[in-house]
Amino acid sequence: MLFNSLQFAVFLPIVFTLYWILHRSMKWQNVLVLAASWFFYGCWDWRFLLLIAFTSLASYVSGMMIGRLPRERGRWVMWGNIVINLLILGVFKYYDFFVQSFADLFLGGDANGMLLRLVLPVGISFYTFQALSYSIDVQRDTIKPTRDIVAFFAYVSFFPQLVAGPIERATNLLPQFENARRFDHALAVDGLRQMLWGFFKKVVVADTCALYVDRIFGDMYAYDGATLAVAAMLFSIQIYGDFSGYSDIAIGTAKLFGIRLQRNFNTPYFSRDIAEFWRRWHISLTTWFRDYVYIPLGGSRVRRRRIVLNTFIIFLLSGLWHGANWTFVAWGAYHALLFLPLILMSRNRRYRDTVACGRRLPSLRELMQMIVTFGLATVGWIIFRADTIGQAIRYLYRIATTFSLSKIESLMQPDYRILVLAFPVLIVVEWMNRGAEHEFALQPNRRIWRWMGYIVLIFVILCFAQTNEMPFIYFQF
């Protein structure tokens, strides 16, 4: 079930109404959330429910055992849960990839009889990491093990963020299922506002970009370097609008149920260097790897050689997390190379404030920094978008060798014309809200202007929504 589908438009109001009818009983609210979440997930394939139920049960039981056992024995339970869940993730997501890679290297590409060809369960990387963080935090005494199995299962499978994040921590989300919720009108209104902006980014911006991007990337030799460069920049916008749009819809939907999820994007393309970009892009994943992998490895409080190794480990794992393809590994390595100079010179924490804080416009220096950072990120997105590393290299080569503004493919064709209007709206709104809780938080004081803005956005979304329901990019991860 996609957020941008008629089924979800029917599903959400029904669940919302039943949820608040049950407001006097926290337990029955949790039962409803769990049932709705499993129905939502089962709409893709009911067999996937067996995996998420097993992951939830294994992590729940491991948390209970860790809480009762001495610390050293509890550590073995934690590692047992980690190994079991990573094995499941590895078999479904990476087994065929590594077997085929081995066959390509040593057997001439013949992997017949060795491949499992399993269907990748949607969102498995997200809910696996969410479940693992719980047992790790229980072992660290960051959170006490819960006895409420329904609340825990609801925490792992909460439908707004189940298939594409944010990757929640038990310390934030689980206590919200263990305590009574009361309807908060202001929070619900803010959630609807955030959902509206998320739908605009997904349906109007990202899906329209996809029409141009898919055509150009699908036949790159038919176009000159300038057109390829524009397509690469549009993919940067597409993946941001698609993924951050999903996060906005997920976070906004959760607010309707009195649940607060962590922020997953914070205007990443207004970053002044790559380190700031990674603090603002897919925040829940980057902080997950920081807290559960990078810091336990020693972080940056070790010798320089170890810092280099730790940085590469984090970015390579982050790349591999995204998918079973060497392009994702190469994308991670590319960002590690960009990040290393900053961390070795202790400049990776220079920009922890909001760009142009207290000013309407950025300085010329800040503007150039944002343009350079966007350009570097775009090169990485070419690697990310390509089917093979060779294709990414050829794409970049054609940009460098066939660049000609006179042959650029126009964006003024009917299918793409909305982008000319949508881009300024996207940039202006997000710039004005860059220091707010989310990118559509600040609104005009006068109600008439607010409602005019809402109506225009709804009209545009309905008018320019593609006839086919385009899935979110990160569903494949």
Catalytic residues, by residue number, are 322
Which phi and psi (to 5°) does residue 84 adopt? -60, -50
Rounded CA-CA distance 194/376 in Å is: 29
| CB contact set of 250 (below 8 Å; sequence gap of 6+) | 3, 160, 161, 164, 165, 166, 198, 261
For 69, how many CA atoms within 13 A lie in the half-sphere containing its CB?
A: 16
Angle between helices 225-256 and 389-401 (to 10 degrees): 130
Q: Is the peptide bond before 268 cis (omega within 30 degrees of 0)?
A: no
Rounded to a whole number of angstroms, the CA Rg of the chain reads: 23
Among the listed residues 257, 255, 282, 260, the one whose alpha carbon sits nearest the alpha carbon of residue 271: 282
| CB contact set of 93 (below 8 Å; sequence gap of 6+) | 120, 124, 125, 323, 324
Rounded CA-CA distance 424/45 in Å is: 39
The CA-atom distances, in angstroms, between 41 and each of 34, 52, 243, 389 are 10, 9, 18, 33
Among the listed residues 64, 232, 245, the one whose alpha carbon sits nearest the alpha carbon of residue 145: 64
Write down the residue that tokens 């939502």 correspond to.
40
Write down the residue that tokens 């690697």 correspond to.
383
